[in-house]
A = this chain, B = another copy of it.
């Protein structure tokens, strides 16, 4: 029994469901559910002083999470990623202050560990011993890693085009990987059928309402790391929409219990080659599917499965939607590396690329304070880092030639 959770409400039709550990989508209309909290109760339980003494992980916010005191602790240490004051980069961009939240430092090197850590805890509550999903990316590797640590079996369905390196990472964590000869849609359908048949726990952020509750912890941490003084803007890359939905949920949670007195405007960043959510927001029309043409594979989602929460987040926050080119993403990767020492994967740098572009377009003023979230580590995609990096100085082992090379480089 969760004293802090009231129910799970459909974001489409408003139907109320009991927040059981294995609840998925709305029984009436199929819409995605939203976990509803009893903020009055939480206010009596959680104080900033209590928080300050707790372990440094996403699980420090237990009163704001859909778990009970008896929920089993996950094994991997997820969250409490560093938040860097990036003053030099702020000056370079032309804003007052900038913080970089580096979520690439999580156990499997992406923000998705927050959702997978939650999935493992809820699967345990649901009495399951097996978790499944269909994905080739960070969701899959984070599920495989967090499941392995907790002793769960994992089944992951990938389309056969999935890169060998990513499949290898899944197999290293002991996941059973099913490579499906077909499209992503074929893969997803087969996984859904298999999950139904064998009763596995479903780790799919667009179906399982608890995963966004894990993702929201990135926003809770940002607020606490800023001593509850919120920035004017929060920039984040957007793929299927679950992460930005989670960020907004976390911010509203904190506002509802009086921990913060201001909500930042969200900067929703997608790739110019794939921006269905930003398009729906900008044109205020229903979402249309798009092609997936970008190097930022982690946000290349042409058929987002969770647009409702994302669109609500952008709209409610009076947000900004910005689309960036692959060149702008590669440039942001270089900028983050050079000024902050943070190595981001393309999707991880997209938020910062969007911020830079928004400032250039005059959408963000020079007195603004901003947080930009890096959602994944650059080591996940070395091929694109090579594209972004440029060439080294290449010389024989000779001091005279080194001096000449330096002189030439300065010209």
Tell me whether A337 is interfacial, beta carbon within 8 Å. yes
- Point out the residues of chain B lying under 8 angstroms from A170, CB to CB: 392
Most buried by B among A177, A179, A397: A397
Given contacts A146-B341, A149-B340, A343-B172, contact A165 B394 (CB under 8 A): no
A385's nearest neighbour on chain B, judged by CB, is B168
Contacts of A340 in B (CB 8 A): 75, 148-149
Q: Which of A77, A82, A337, A396 has the most CB of B within 10 A?
A: A337
A223 within 8 A of B: no
What B residues does A338 contact at CB under 8 A? 148, 172-174
**Which residue of chain B lies nearest to A190 when distances are taken between CB atoms in the complex?**
B397
B341 and A178 contact, CB distance less than 8 A? no
What's the minimum C-beta distance from A84 to chain B, rounded to whole angstroms?
7
Query: How many copies of this kind of chain does the complex include?
Result: 2
- The answer, yes or no, to whether A145 is at the interface (CB within 8 Å) is yes
Give Cα A178 to B406, complex, Å: 10
CB distance from A58 to the nearest CB of B (A): 13
Report whether B386 and A168 are in contact in the complex, using a CB–CB cutoff of 8 Å: yes
Q: Which of A101-109, A199-207, A283-291, A297-305 contacts B (4 or more CB under 8 A)?
A: A101-109
From A75, A168, A377, A402, name the one whose CB has the most chain B CB atoms within 10 angstroms: A168
Q: Could you tell me if B88 and A82 are in contact, using CB atoms closer than 8 angstroms?
A: no
Please indicate the chain B residues that have their CB under 8 angstroms from the CB of A386 in the complex: 164-165, 168
- Please report the C-alpha to C-alpha distance between residue A150 and residue B84 in the assembled complex, in whole angstroms: 11
